[in-house]
Amino acid sequence: MTQTSSWMRCLQWITMIKQDAGYLSGAEESKGDKIMMELSLDKFEEAYEIVKEVTSETKLIYSDHFSTRTGNKVYLKPENMQLTGAYKLRGAYYKISTLSEEEREKGLITASAGNHAQGVAYAAKCYGVKAVIVMPTTTPLIKVNRTKGYGAEVVLYGDVYDEACAKAYELAEEHGYTFVHPFDDLDVATGQGSIAMEIIKELPLVDYILVPVGGGGLATGVSTLAKLLNPKIKVIGVEPTGANCLQESVRAGKVTTLEQVNTIADGTAVKTPGTTIFPYLKENLDGIITVGDEELVVSFLDMVENHKMIVENSGLLTVAALKHLDVKNKKIVAILSGGNMDVITMSSVVQQGLVLRDRIFSVSVLLPDKPGELSRVADVIAKQNGNVIKLEHNQFVSINRNAAVELRITMEAYGTEHKNQIISSLQQNGYQPKLIRASI
């Protein structure tokens, strides 16, 4: 079956849904059914057309690397390539399009860890209205500066999103601004759902869509539209292990607030998922995967080396989740939600990724304090093609310097196997290398 014929089949699904009177109306609908109807196919189609005015249709990228590693056909949805560096422009622009002139003229305000901030700032600029953005003090500098660059007024407040959001509501009440919620808003979620429309249009037979989850707006839009177009598509939410507010809420059966969040994925460091969108998430997500910070670090390295792309930690959640998905021979789309990452963070993540992949490691060896010993150790390493990048010489490890001084060696290797070869060679030459924390 060709992609075109598959897309035609999806269009047939759309027609059937619109003609389904049981879905669109009925006197015996439950309250839950009425709530779920608020995200309609007509709205998604409208949003899909409107967001085209300011967004790029980010074409899927087939990944040979991740396909080979997982035994599936893996495609990347590069929302990090949007003008504002993330998908958030979709929801912000569509939301503002639904506001009245009076609501826009009051000025807009929102709270965001960065990507929604830039989305609202740019969208407000397009509509010629004022935007005030409250951002956590931990927001990367690149996101703060870019938000200001789009003409928004930035207020830094609180350590996490939830504290910034409370401040934004306070300012909205004080100045009469119109609040644009980053995720707990059905119009915002509808705008984000345009991503699913693009995915299914380009890859109609997609089996799985992996979507990052912070507060849940993106996951709501993508999962709801995917289920409307083809209920067989599995949509999996991915959260940081240290900020798994949706997972805990689903387990509890109600919206739950975490006591604290701890993750390098600052864009998804949210304590409480959206209450308005929670019913959609419970209904339409087929599962939730959590990934740790170390997995995000090595995923960043994978993306840089194999796809030459910069993807921020929150956007890497879906990449890290690929190995947790226990399926084979499936068509999987991983949404890369953003790429706004400051250079300092980038440098730190690359270094830690090299350490975690055994591309950089450190050993401590004891040797007599006499001429030629350092050269001898270096020769052993060189014969194994190890590259020394740092040396630390400690003469005071023992009171008897003639017996032993400590040499700490940090070196580059090709990976775990090469590292083990170097260590084995040192042992065979009479040294007792001890692995220590890599010092870069």
Domains 3-14+30-85+188-352 and 88-179 share a fold: yes
Break the chain into its structural domains and give their ranges. 3-14+30-85+188-352, 88-179, 358-436
pLDDT of residue 27: 36
Instruction: State the CB neighbour count (10 A cutoff) for residue 417.
Output: 9
pLDDT of residue 404: 78
Report CA-CA distances (Å) from 352 to 159, 321, 347, 348, 356: 24, 19, 9, 6, 6
Q: Are 246 and 237 in contact (CB under 8 A)?
A: yes
Q: CA-to-CA distance for 319 and 323, rounded, in angstroms?
A: 8
Regarding pTM above 0.95, the answer is: no
SS (H, E, C) 74-103: EEEEEHHHCCCCECHHHHHHHHHHHCCHHH
Give residue for tokens 């010092």: 439
Q: Are 261 and 270 in contact (CB under 8 A)?
A: yes
Kind plus residue range of the DSSP H or E element containing 146? helix 141-149
Name the CATH topology of 3-14+30-85+188-352: Rossmann fold (3.40.50)
The b/e string for 179-200 (b: 16+ C-beta within 10 A; e otherwise) is bbbbbbbbbbbbbbbbbbbbbb
Which CATH class name applies to 358-436?
Answer: alpha beta
pLDDT of residue 31: 40
pLDDT of residue 162: 79
Q: Are 89 and 124 in contact (CB under 8 A)?
A: no
Name the CATH topology of 88-179: Rossmann fold (3.40.50)
pLDDT of residue 22: 42
| Positions of the chain with pLDDT lower than 50, given as ranges | 17-18, 20-35
Instruction: Out of 88, 167, 227, 271, pick the active-site residue.
Output: 88
Q: Are 70 and 323 in contact (CB under 8 A)?
A: yes
DSSP, residue by residue, 168-194: HHHHHHHHTPEE--SSS-HHHHHHHTH
Phi, psi values for residue 392, rounded to 5°: -130, 125
CA angle centred on 81, ends 302 and 178, rounded to 5°? 125
Instruction: Out of 271, 337, 362, 419, pick the active-site residue.
Output: 337
Of 205, 231, 228, give the one whose Cα is nearest residue 286.
231
Per the annotation, the verdict on 88 as an active-site residue is yes
DSSP, residue by residue, 240-294: EGGG-HHHHHHHHTS----S----S-GGG--SS--TTTHHHHHHH--EEEEE-HH
